[in-house]
Amino acid sequence: MSKSSEIIKNYLSQGKKVLTEFESKELLEKIGIPITKQKLTSDKNDVVRFADEIGYPVVMKLMADDVVHKSDAGAVKLNLQNKEEIEKSFDELMNIPSKSEKKINIQKMADEPITEIIIGMTTDPQFGPALMFGIGGILVELLEDVSFRIAPIEKFDANEMIHEIKGFPLLDGFRGKPKADIDAIIDALLKVSDLVIQNPEIYEMDLNPIFVYNSGIVCVDARIILKD
Ligand code: ADP
Ligand code: MG
């Protein structure tokens, strides 16, 4: 059994259905999708130590099973510059009401991207795992500018998914911006495809957003939902 299958079976045996951002990104890292360096802890000194280790600025988020839309709950603290800001954020995050166990996800603040993208997966009752690709932000939310393919996909399909959205120019040097690393996006789409084919226990995935650069990508938020 592959590492990812073992991890998923383990969550299921604990009765876990919705993985937190930390758990979801940990799994993505195992399959080779780049994520922000992250650490899960409930100890304030630990948070400061990890920030010193990875370097400022950092991001802190509250991880709790019942806090799903983190920004709406005030559970995302961006661009923290020093120990004082970390300690203040720690107290504020830990004071957010929740019935679940609360921990802090301290992570690297990713550099400003060329653009944000989304890779998703939903389970179609008829066709099974469907992969989704789109440009992050309003293009997905308002204009529903996304492409879909039934998994498994090959490189050719991944390339088409990226090129067929209306927002493609944003990845292709729009208004003098650098071009996005299309190969890195293709690679991530293929890895998500492999993961969901190897693990039919996965019901839904949302890598949202992934920051895209001229060289490389990094997933800054993710959610994986398992089947009952
Ligand atoms: P939500 O649960 O509300 O979707 P996110 O984790 O996606 O919370 O954080 C909200 C936004 O904050 C993201 O869409 C992204 O723009 C920004 N963000 C989150 N984490 C990072 C990070 N590590 N580095 C840089 N920006 C981040
Ligand atoms: Mg998000």
Where are any strands of DSSP class E within 4-73? 38-41, 58-63
Q: What percent of the chain has pLDDT over 70?
A: 100
Give the nearest ligand 1 atom to 208 CA.
7
Distance 81 CA to ligand 1 centre (A): 16
Fold of 3-34+112-226: D-amino Acid Aminotransferase; Chain A, domain 1 (3.30.470)
The pLDDT of residue 74 is: 97
CATH 3.30.470.20 residue ranges for the chain: 3-34+112-226
- Contact of 134 with 189, CB cutoff 8 Å: no
Dist. CA 122–CA 125, nearest whole Å: 10
- The tens digit of pLDDT for each residue in 15-72 reads 999 999 999 999 999 999 999 999 999 999 999 999 999 999 999 999 999 999 999 9
What is the pTM (predicted TM-score) of this model? 0.97
109 Cβ closer than 6 Å to some ligand 1 atom: yes
**Which ligand is closest to the CA of 79, given by its number?**
1
Whether residue 103 is predicted with pLDDT greater than 80 in this model: the reply is yes
Pick the CATH number of 38-108 from 3.30.1490.20, 3.40.50.720, 1.20.140.10, 3.40.228.10: 3.30.1490.20
Triad 54, 59, 65: Cα angle to 5°:
115
Instruction: Give how far Cα 134 sits from Cα of 11, 32, 92, Å.
Output: 29, 20, 33
Q: Which of 36, 65, 66, 78 to mutate to test the pocket of ligand 1 (most atoms within 8 A of CB)?
A: 78
